[in-house]
Amino acid sequence: MKSKEKIFQDSSKEKKQKFSKLYTLLFLLSFITVVLQIPNSATHEVLSPALVQAFSEIEDDVSQAEVDEFEDSFQAYGDFIDTSEGQDFAVQRAELAANGEPNDPLFFQQWHWYNFTEDGSSGTNWTQLYQEIESLSEEEKAAFSEVIVVVMDSGLNYSHVDIPADAVFINTGEIPDNKIDDEGNGYVDDVHGCDILDLSGNCQDISDPSGHGTGVAGILLAESDNNEGIASDLGIPIKVMEVRVINESGFANYSDVTKALKYINNMVDAGYPIVAVNMSFAGWYEGELAADAELTALSEKGVVLVSGTGNSENQYPGKVGWPARRDEVIAVGGSGPDGCHYVGASYGPEIDVSAPYPSIYTLYDSDSYARMSGTSFSSPQVTFLAAILKSMNPDLSPAEVSEIITSTANLRPECDAEQIGSGVVDYMAAFFSVKYPNKTFLPFISNGGS
């Protein structure tokens, strides 16, 4: 049996909006990689020559048809934004708060929140849900901020200017910096979550040296309508607890993931209202894992588990990575601007739903922003929706949340369900299916660009 298996986590930052074939291939080759090891392995792996070789072969695996499909699907939006008309559109988007859109200056670049195709069906209907939530009372909005979402990743730069203070989990049972386990839960100074990688046992430093975890969390908690950067939180800041399992080199191992899941289980048992866990990593070890029991325990406690399928369509064709392939985990694939499968996103029989994959504008570093791509950034789009649904109805089981999300997803006729699951997640349809449980809602279709 092989003692080590590679898993991949994609966080390619894009600096262009129009992509040539060459840029597309460079884009695929720029993935950040995470290595997870099988249980009981205590050391972190470095990038091996075999893995470097695997990446160098991606160019041969990408067909011209796939490149053309990618370019065609994204070119229209990129070309439009680059025109003077597109720039006018951008300015108008930033000034349309009166029409129910946030005033954040970079919001227009968050294509994944929009529906801009001819029939308006490639986006997630986030914008439509934002308008709906704006009409809620302050009391109704307050219910959303009473739940916690855990992000298992590389850390969180929680001092980012676009992260509202009340969106970051605070463990009131801990006194910061005193190096004492004040609440007696076995973890020292777990004030905002826990750094599982700190061998001293001090959880406190959850800072993010790579920016990946901050980018993932930004899709959940970037403040909306604050005239700053991007918009993500729908004006209802759901609290985020960060559990750091990925080191600064972009690697992690299964034993650390198991420890992290144990920590989350302990926090649920202690009464913290954790409703969802986002896991933006994918592993390819196919044996039984100690972490599997922890996942099952969380699901049985009512916590919704969400993970990206991976970005290894070429290396592992027809396979979904771990933990997404687990029955109790919502497996999120990647969609492109055309609403269909995005080249490179892993898919297989276990895929449940998809969300926008390329060029996701999100938080990065302490005060900056970046475009990132991969199911790492598709996954939190679904996690956020799951948290909204659970905050609306805490009695929903994880299976019921999954059913709502998949049954209301938007599957375009020209898209392959084997590659995209039930379709692209639809915020508005899922929201209304919980708000009005006795009615059936199909995916919402709006006019393009709104």
Q: Is the pLDDT of residue 124 over 80?
A: yes
Type of residue at 409: A
Chain mean pLDDT for the chain? 76
Q: Which DSSP letter does residue 120 get?
A: S
- Categorize the per-residue pLDDT at 130 as very low, low, confident or very high, splitting at 50, 70 and 90: confident
Tell the residue number behind the tokens 């039930």, with chain if given: 422
Task: Report the run of H or E that residue 80 belongs to, with start and end.
Answer: helix 64-82
- Domain definitions of the chain by residue range: 12-435
Would you identify the CATH topology of the domain 12-435? Rossmann fold (3.40.50)
Between 112 and 331, residue with greater pLDDT:
331
Task: Report pLDDT for 86.
Answer: 52
| pTM of the full structure | 0.79
* Rounded (10°) CA dihedral 258, 261, 263, 266: -120
Share of the chain above pLDDT 70, in %: 73
- Give the residue with greater pLDDT, 401 vs 91: 401
Residue pair 213/153 in contact by the 8 Å Cβ criterion: yes
Point out which residues pair with 364 in neighbouring strands. 368
φ and ψ of 206, to 5 deg: -105, 20
Q: Which range has highest mean pLDDT (192-206, 224-238, 355-369, 373-387)?
A: 373-387
Structure confidence by residue, pLDDT tens digits, 258-302: 999 999 999 999 999 999 999 999 888 887 889 999 999 999 999
Res 350: pLDDT: 98
Largest distance between two CA atoms of the chain? 61
For residue 39, name the pLDDT band (cuts at 50, 70, 90). very low
* 329-352 pLDDT, tens digit each: 999 999 998 889 999 999 999 999
- The residue ranking higher by pLDDT, 21 or 354, is 354
| C-alpha torsion angle, residues 34, 37, 43, 46 (rounded to 10) | -40
Give residue-wise pLDDT tens across range 363-394.
998 789 998 999 999 999 999 999 999 999 99
More confident residue, 145 or 281: 281
Question: What pLDDT, in 10s, does the model give residues 46-98?
Answer: 222 222 111 222 223 334 444 444 444 444 445 545 556 555 545 544 444 44
- Residue 109: beta bridge partners? none
Q: Which two three-digit tokens encode residue 88?
A: 């006018």
* Contacts for 411-415: CB closer than 8 Å, 24+ residues apart: 411/443, 412/121, 412/122, 412/338, 412/339, 412/340, 414/340, 415/339, 415/340, 415/341
Q: Return the closest-CA partner of residue 207 out of 328, 405, 365, 440.
A: 365
Query: What pLDDT sits at residue 446?
Result: 41
What is residue 378's predicted lDDT score, i.e. its pLDDT? 96
Asked whether residue 8 carries a pLDDT value surpassing 50, the answer given is no
| DSSP at 287 | S
Whether pLDDT at 402 is above 90: yes
Long-range own/partner contacts, residues 180-183 (CB < 8 A, 24 or more apart)? 183/270
Q: What percent of the chain has pLDDT over 90?
A: 41
Please check the confidence at residue 152 and state whether its pLDDT lies above 70. yes
Least confident of 2-6, 385-389, 426-430: 2-6
| R_g (Cα) of the chain, nearest Å | 20
Q: Which of 237, 181, 238 is nearest to 204 (CA)?
A: 181
Q: What is the rounded average pLDDT of the residues 395-424?
A: 95
Determine whether 152 is exposed, middle or buried from the number of CB atoms within 10 Å of its CB (0-12, 13-18, 19+).
buried
Look at 101-110, 180-189, 415-424 and tell me which has the smallest mean pLDDT: 180-189
The model's confidence at residue 115, banded by pLDDT at 50, 70 and 90, is: low
Which alpha helices (DSSP H) does 97-249 contain, by range?
Answer: 126-134, 138-142, 212-221
| Mean pLDDT in residue range 435-440 | 75
Question: What totals of helices (H) and strands (E) does the chain contain, helices first?
Answer: 14, 10
Q: Is 171:186 a contact under the CB 8 Å cutoff?
A: no
Vertex 429 angle, CA 385 and 69, to 5°: 80
Whole-number Å distance between alpha carbons of 209 and 268: 27
Residue 20: its pLDDT value, please?
Answer: 30
Spatial separation of the C-alpha atoms in residues 223 and 401, rounded to whole Å:
25
